[in-house]
Structure 1
Amino acid sequence: MFEFRKTGHRQRQTVLLRAWVAGLFALVCLLLLAGRLWYLQVVRYDNLSARAEQNRITIVPVPPRRGQISDRNGAVLAQNLRDYTLTVTRAQVRGDVGELLDRLGELVYLSESDRRKFMRLYQQSGRYAPVLLRNNLNDIEASWFAVHAYRFPGVSLEARWVRSYPMHESAAHVLGFVGRISEEDQQELEESGQLGNYRGTMVIGKKGVEKTWEKALHGRTGVEELEVTAGGRPVRELSRTDPVPGSNLELSLDIGLQQLAEAQFEGRRGALVAIQPHTGEILAFVSSPSFDPNLFVDGIDVENWRKLNESPDHPLINRPLYGTYPIGSTYKPFVGLAALELGLRSARELIPDPGYFELAGQKFRNAGGAVYGPTDMHRAIVVSSDTYFFSLGAQMDVDALHDFTQQFGFGRITGIDLDGERRGVLPSREWKRKTYKKPEQQHWYRGETVSVTVGQGYNAFTLLQLAQATSVLANDGVYMKPHLVRRIIDPLTGRFNYPVVGPQAAIQLKPDNLRVIREAMVDVVRKGTARRAFEGAAYQAAGKTGTAQVYSLRGAKYRAHAVDERLRDHALFMAYAPVDDPQIAVALIVENGGWGASVAAPIARTVFDYWLDPGRAAQRRARLQAEQTAREAQAEPVTAASAPGRPDTQPAPEDDEAPEPAPLPDEASAPEDGAEEENP
């Protein structure tokens, strides 16, 4: 009995102890819960409240509409089209992406090319970067996907502005193209402090005007504040700051003239630049062959890239800007003017021309073995006497020739509003010392000046430089900066400004010397090597034909039919018209085309006929008058110095290797200007 009572007492104590322990544990938990609640509600209130608000409200960047590009007559060259796209964000994809594409393919057509390009970009992209899967969805495809979007987490349907080039290959090297923003682009934007302005933007200018005028074309990104659900679905718009569209650019190009000039190069390699001498406006800028910039907008496919990149014709190279050539006899008017200005020779002085010039026992021969007899400067330019200019080279200091012709734009960056312009080579003693490492190669020889004076030797200029020099010559030595963007137009107000205003420099030239060169160039067209090309013209042009050697003949006679097509001579021509009031200056080259007189000059005639047509000239005058009236109506006209978005162009890197000089002594020169066809 006693033992039973003792056991019952012990059990009550145990139960009581357990109750106290359980109660104490519950109290501790309650205190911890209360403490945690106090910590969250009081200590971390501000932080958690902000995070909760962020979960409810999202900030969405609104990319601006890119500025439109048109020619001088209003023809659209680059525009924006509304487009539906499908993008995929890796962080939101559930399961295998290949299975996702298979299921998606049941709703929206996905080609093998779309899938391959997507997988390549998908593997290279970050977890939170949207990757383009398919663009150009039509309204039916877009609406059908929108209905079933819940089945495809991570796939988004977006409406966007997409860049389009309606002229396709025409003026492609001028316009350039836009492409997806790369890591390198992002780094450059971050360094320049512009990255924030590109939130929500997928493309950026990569080449041409699209690149150099990127700041003006892009505009300013807007912001949209949205209330969203926990799943991220928008509920309503809370506030919005509209984006500012990019400025519209009016180019100086005339697309009619551009396409006409491009058609003359059909099936041929070459370049042409036409400039308005009084303003420096580029009227045509041809690089043949060309390419379609639409291929690059969303990333070019492998097949098209290989076709362009591996083509022996190099369609991606901007020939007028990047290609450097010896310009042959088109250099002679500038050499002749230099001789007159430097007082080395009078215009009427007769120089014997037996068909060759001899220096230190070496003979420099006329093209085609022609013999012209006693020749003055006028006749030397008209018939293109090499001997006359060879003898001039023996008298002339190469540094003096360098300093004089550089004023016209040879051997220097012209400053055109395109990236990648090459400086070319305008030889001098200093240039040779810097270019060659061996002491015996650094010495300048008189025989090298002899070759330089006929546009061969070390000379290597861009077609843009030759066209600019021709324009300056036509403008009596007044140097207008060549430019492609004629006007910058605000899309909201319609106000406009001009990025280039007034001359950049003026060369001090004697009027009598200019008249000598001008009259000689007129006779080149009237009765010299270019007379056949300009027969019956309603205007008087002044020009000079040229044929430039591609490789050294090593004393052999040149026979075009006996050499490979890509080793044949280049055909060149430079001219301006009309002589009394120059409205257009042209320089062109047909690579491996042969005779400048028979191949290049007819192209210039076609260009002049179009531009100087009386009906078109009257239309241009009417437009300029209306434009001047509108300009005067602007209360505060904007000058070039304050023009928004002006580009900072970068020249092309200089070549690492010195160019090989063209043949010097005792080598037959390239046949010049139809010398075998006629002997004036």
Structure 2
Amino acid sequence: MTVMKNIQQELGGFRLRLVAAGLFVLLCFGLLTARLLFLQVTQHDNLLDRAESNRTTIVPIVPNRGLIKDRNGVVLASNYSAYTLEITPAKVDDLDGTIDALAQLIEIQPRDRKRLKRLMSESKNFESLPIRTKLSDTEVAKFTAQRFRFPGVEIKARLFRNYPLGEVGAHLIGYIGRINQAEKKAMDDWEEEDFANYRGTEYIGKLGLEQAYERELHGITGFEQLETSAGGRAVRRLAHKPPTPGNTLVLSIDIRLQALVEELYKDRRGALVAIDPRNGEVLAFVSKPTFDPNLFVDGIDADNWRELNENIDKPLLNRAMRGTYPPGSTFKPFMAMAALNSGKRSPSLIIQDNLTYSFGGRTFGSPEVDRPGPKDMRLAIVSSSNVYFYSLANEMGVDLIHDELEPFGFGRKTGIDLIGELTGDLPSTAWKRTRFKKPEQQKWYAGETISLGIGQGYNNFTMLQLATATSTLSSAGLRYKPRLVREIQDVVKHEQRRVASDAMTPLPLRPEQVDVILNAMHGVTVEGTSRAVFAGAGYKSGGKTGTAQAVGLRAGEKYKDIKADERKRDHSLYVAFAPIEAPTIAVAVIVENAGFGSTSAAPIARRLFDFVLMGQYPSEEDIALTQQGKTTAPVGKPRLATEIPLPGNAADVAAAASAASASAAGASASASAPMPSASAASAAPAIANMPAASASSKPALRPASAPRAAVQPPASGASR
């Protein structure tokens, strides 16, 4: 009985265990079924995408960067292709050892190593960085044969930016450079579409038009969808969207004129801006000394960077729009216009000029060459009378001067299509309160107004502002925002978009009053301080010389005491327009520390007018003498401007033009080409994709402070 009971208990336990095992098996199958349903149904789309991403990759194709041309079609910035040897530091165990081994195959100089280290400090560890650029075919073949020895090292084909004319127009064209971390961080705030357009892009405009028109020049990034093997190699192309190349900028600049002016400056410091008063187009935009933007294409080396950045002449400073200077006597025609417009003086009012003007116990003087006598407004401008304008400034007061002249563009940005323009200083009582921190410095003293009349004191303007103001005055009040870009060409659609200069509200100047000023400025060229310079000119022009103090004089100090220091000498200035009947060009010129305006600045303006209005290019003898400040009217037989070869290396210029034509043809072909099939031959993404350009890894250059007179109480002295 006991045995039967035990058997029943064991059978019951067995059945229980059997049921439990069955339930456990069912539970496991249920879990597997649920997981299968979850993966196959709920997560199907997500897992499919992940699976596809494991076997496909999207490779961005960076577009060709747009060209930059002058108004006559001369190529100023183009692209050329070359192979680069690049290293991904994260994939290399022994970086120095790898570079040493590479140096046995390919020449790697110390500057290449320094550049790589600098790039590593500015980039992320997993980025591909160039150790050598512009590899020859032989070097490419040598590395390819030994590639298995160098994991993390590869050859890429890239487009490099080229500036075929070298230093000519460098400040207005600018350059491109590798995108730095600060710029990458700023891109995080961009719209998603704009941010996506820079995937795969390593370079961006850093200065000049390259920076200001970055989005026009960059183009639209394309892509390739590639099927990859387990080892990551491309097997075939699944989809393809070609990139859209950047647009071409056509400038209003005449690069031959630009090159002539830069040649006339030679090694002297200064700036020149020439504008068409009819539409605001900039014809020449010169800053000297300049630099070669090609230095930045491969990444500028430490020696060249140090030479440029520490040079006392500040070649990286764009003096045309970031250099501020006292205008000297070039300010007098604007003072006279302000007097007429405000009703403070009539043209016929005569002021006795005894060569000195006393105010508040201080005597303000005139140049030694001035002649005393009675002078009306016209004669005061022609003879550049200081006393006439000392008294006028006192009568008007600083605030009225400010209110009358600010509409001409003084003391504010002109709105040119470049980044980084300075406002300059057009003083007023409110300006001084905001300019200085100490209460005793914020008060405006009546004596400070006197020197404003002759363009000294706190007055400080850029040549761009002076040229814009001269353009407005010569056109009887027409105002435009100056523009460097004349037209934007879509190389794919073959469409041209005119970039019109923004017309501003004209100044309400009375024609008869404007005629008084323009007639007086014409008198300067036929009987005044620039008469010798414009002798024999085949056109009529108007102008005004200026000699502005670079530093203030202490009480009792004479100019001859500081003249020995070349950098303390007066600046030479000239503003002008031509032809006087219907002006088509207005210009402002400064040659730093070069003395009287008639000796250095005016001769440059004369030769510029001869080029634009007469089609004449000065003789070699005349150029050499003008570079030394030893000419007035041109000497020697002038040449035809059209017969003068373009500046820079002739081969580079021809190559740039050829590359530009090929680029335009390639853009059209890419736009019209059919989509390749999925079975198209595989392409290695390492070499197939060329970004727009490669240049310096340096961040945007920050110009040193602009040359200008020290902010101080008005100084007396020469201002012709």
Q: Does 1:90 align with 2:89?
A: yes
1:84 aligned counterpart, secondary structure: strand
Relative contact order, higher structure (CA 8 A, sep 6+)? 2
SS of the residue corresponding to residue 400 of structure 2 reads helix
Q: Corresponding residue for 1:573? A: 574
Is contact 2:489–2:495 with CA below 8 Å preserved after alignment? yes
Per-residue CA deviations over 1:169-211 (Å, capped at 9, x if unaligned) read 1111101110001111111122112322111111001111111
The corresponding residue for 2:300 is 300
2:151 alignment counterpart: 153
**Aligned-pair identity (%):** 48
1:54 aligns with 2:53: yes
Q: Which residue number corresponds to residue 559 of structure 1?
A: 560
* 2:71–2:486 Cα contact (<8 Å) kept: yes
Greater mean alpha carbon deviation, residues 225-234 or residues 137-146: 137-146
Q: Deviations over 1:281-329 (max 9, x none)?
A: 1111111000111122342211111100110000001101111110100
Matching residue's letter, 1:60 = V
1:548 is matched with: 548
Alignment of 1:94-133 (within 5 A): 95-122=93-120, 124-133=122-131
Cα deviation digits, residues 69-110 of structure 1 (max 9, x gap): 0100000111111121122123333x3122222222233222
Contact 2:550/2:709 (8 A) holds in 1 = no
SS at 1:85's partner residue? Answer: strand
Q: What are the equivalent positions in structure 2 for 1:507-522 lying under 5 Å apart?
A: 507-522=507-522
**In the TM superposition, what are the counterparts of 1:407-486 in structure 2 within 5 Å?**
407-486=407-486
Structure 2: how far apart are the matches of 1:136 and 1:463? 40
> Which residue pairs with 1:590 in the alignment?
591
Q: For residues 62 and 167 of structure 1, do their structure 2 counterparts lie closer, same or farther at Cα, with a shift above 3 Å needed?
A: same
Report the Cα distance in structure 1 between the residues aligned to 2:180 and 2:615, rounded to whole angstroms.
Answer: 49
* One-letter amino acid matched to 1:155: V
- The aligned residue for residue 251 of structure 2 is 251
Distance 1:562 1:243, change over 3 A: closer
| Distance (Å, rounded) in 2 between the aligned partners of 1:250 and 1:534 | 33
**2:181 aligns to what?**
183
Cα distance between partner residues in 1 of 2:530 and 2:195: 55
Change in CA separation of 1:264 and 1:501 when aligned onto 2, cut-off 3 Å: closer
In 2: Cα distance, 1:505 partner to 1:479 partner:
7
Q: Which secondary structure does the structure 2 equivalent of 1:366 belong to?
A: coil
The whole-number CA distance in structure 2 between the counterparts of 1:170 and 1:501 is: 24
Q: Give structure 1 stretches of 5+ with no counterpart.
A: 1-29, 620-649, 674-680
Are the counterparts in 2 of residues 549 and 662 from structure 1 also a CA contact under 8 Å? no
- Asked if 1 retains the 8 angstrom alpha-carbon contact of 2:172 and 2:208, the reply is yes
Q: Tell me, in whole angstroms, the C-alpha distance in 1 between the residues paired with 2:36 and 2:85.
A: 43
Q: Check whether the contact 2:225–2:237 (CA below 8 A) recurs between aligned residues.
A: yes
CA deviations 1:96-125 (Å, max 9, x no partner) are 122222222233222221122213323553
Corresponding pairs, count: 609
Of stretches 129-138 and 303-312 in structure 1, the one that deviates more from structure 2 is 129-138
Segments of structure 2 that go 5 or more residues without pairing to the other structure are 1-24, 618-639, 643-699
Whole-Å separation in 2 of the counterparts to 1:40 and 1:310: 69
Alignment partner, residue 77 of structure 1: 76
Structure 2: distance between partners of 1:560 and 1:612: 42
Amino acid at match of 1:114: D
The Cα of 1:655 is off from its aligned counterpart by 9.3
- What amino acid is aligned across from residue 491 of structure 1 in structure 2? V
3-state SS, counterpart of residue 544 of structure 2? strand
CA distance in 2 between partners of 1:144 and 1:39 (Å):
58
Matched residues in 2 for 1:361 and 1:123: separation? 61
Return the offset for 1:264: 1.1
Alignment correspondent of 1:214: 214
* Shift, 1:151, TM fit: 2.8
Q: Is the 8 A contact 2:534 2:606 kept in 1?
A: yes
Offset from partner CA, 1:394-433 (integer Å, 9 cap, x none): 2112211111111111101100011111111101111112
When the two structures are superposed, what TM-score results if normalisation uses the length of structure 2? 0.80
**Residues 124, 363 of structure 1: alpha-carbon distance in 2 compared, 3 angstrom cutoff:** closer
Mapped partners of 2:705, 2:158: distance in 1: 42
- Aligned counterpart, 1:322: 322
The answer to whether the 8 A contact 1:396-1:449 is kept is no
Q: Residue 517 of structure 2 aligns to which amino acid in structure 1?
A: I
**Structure 2 CA distance for aligned equivalents of residues 615 and 460 of structure 1:** 34
Residue 548 of structure 2 contacts residue 572 of structure 2 at CA under 8 Å; is this kept in 1? yes
Alpha-carbon distance, 1:445 to partner: 2.3
Give the whole-Å Cα distance in 2 for the aligned partners of 1:32 and 1:449: 98
Q: CA deviation at 1:155?
A: 1.3
The aligned residue for residue 601 of structure 2 is: 600
Aligned to 2:374, the other structure's residue is in SS state coil
In the alignment, which residue of structure 1 is the partner of 2:368? 368
Structure 2 residue matching 1:384: 3-state secondary structure:
coil
Asked if 2 retains the 8 angstrom alpha-carbon contact of 1:558 and 1:668, the reply is no
1:275-354 equivalences in 2 (<5 Å): 275-354=275-354
Correspondence for 1:68: 67
1:39 positional shift: 9.1
Mean alpha-carbon deviation: is it higher for 430-439 or for 579-588? 430-439
Deviation for aligned residue 1:437: 2.9
TM-fit CA distance, 1:229: 1.4
Q: Give the C-alpha shift of residue 561 in structure 1.
A: 7.7
The answer as to whether partners of 2:458 and 2:713 remain within 8 angstroms in 1 is: no
Question: What one-letter code is carried by the residue in structure 2 that aligns with 1:405?
Answer: L
Inter-CA distance 100–507: structure 2 relative to 1 (3 Å threshold):
same
In the TM superposition, what whole-angstrom CA distance separates every residue of 1:545-586 from its partner, at most 9, and x where no partner exists?
A: 000011222233322784300000000000011101111111
Match of 2:674?
A: none
Give 3-state SS (helix, strand or coil) of 1:336's partner.
helix
Residues 592-623 of structure 1 deviation map (CA, whole Å, 9 limit, x = unaligned): 0111011111010111111112589999xxxx
Paired letter, 2:717: S
Corresponding position of 1:677: none
**CA 1:390–1:203: 2 relative to 1, 3 Å:** same
**Take 1:549 and 1:419, find their aligned partners in 2: how far apart are those partners?**
29
User: Equivalents in 2 of 1:367, 1:212: separation in Å?
Assistant: 44
3-state DSSP of counterpart to 2:154:
strand
Q: Deviations over 1:427-476 (max 9, x none)?
A: 11111122223333322222222111110011011110001101111111
User: Cα–Cα, structure 1 residues 459 and 128, in superposed 2: closer, same or farther, change >3 Å?
Assistant: same
1:669 and 2:670 matched: no
Query: 2:393 touches 2:401 (CA, 8 Å); kept in 1?
Result: no
> Are the counterparts in 2 of residues 422 and 653 from structure 1 also a CA contact under 8 Å?
no
Structure 1 residue 51 displacement after superposition? 3.5
Mapped to 2, the partners of 1:281 and 1:348 lie a distance apart of 36
| 8 Å contact kept, 1:422–1:654 | no
Q: Distance in 2 between matches of 1:317 and 1:612?
A: 30
Structure 1 stretch displaced more, 108-117 or 317-326? 108-117
Q: Following the alignment from structure 1 to structure 2, what is the Cα–Cα distance between the partners of residues 31 and 302?
A: 74
CA distance in 2, matches of 1:35, 1:294: 70
CA contact (8 A) 2:280 2:501 kept: no
Normalization by structure 1: what TM-score?
A: 0.85
- Say whether the 8 Å CA contact 1:474–1:582 is kept in structure 2: yes
- How do residues 136-175 of structure 1 correspond to structure 2 at under 5 angstroms? 136-175=134-173
Whether the 8 Å contact between 1:381 and 1:521 is mirrored in structure 2 is: yes
SS in 1 for 2:161: strand
CA contact (8 A) 1:84 1:158 kept: yes
1:423–1:654: 8 Å Cα contact kept in structure 2? Answer: no
CA distance in 2, matches of 1:418, 1:147: 48
Q: How far apart are the structure 2 equivalents of 1:58 and 1:40?
A: 29
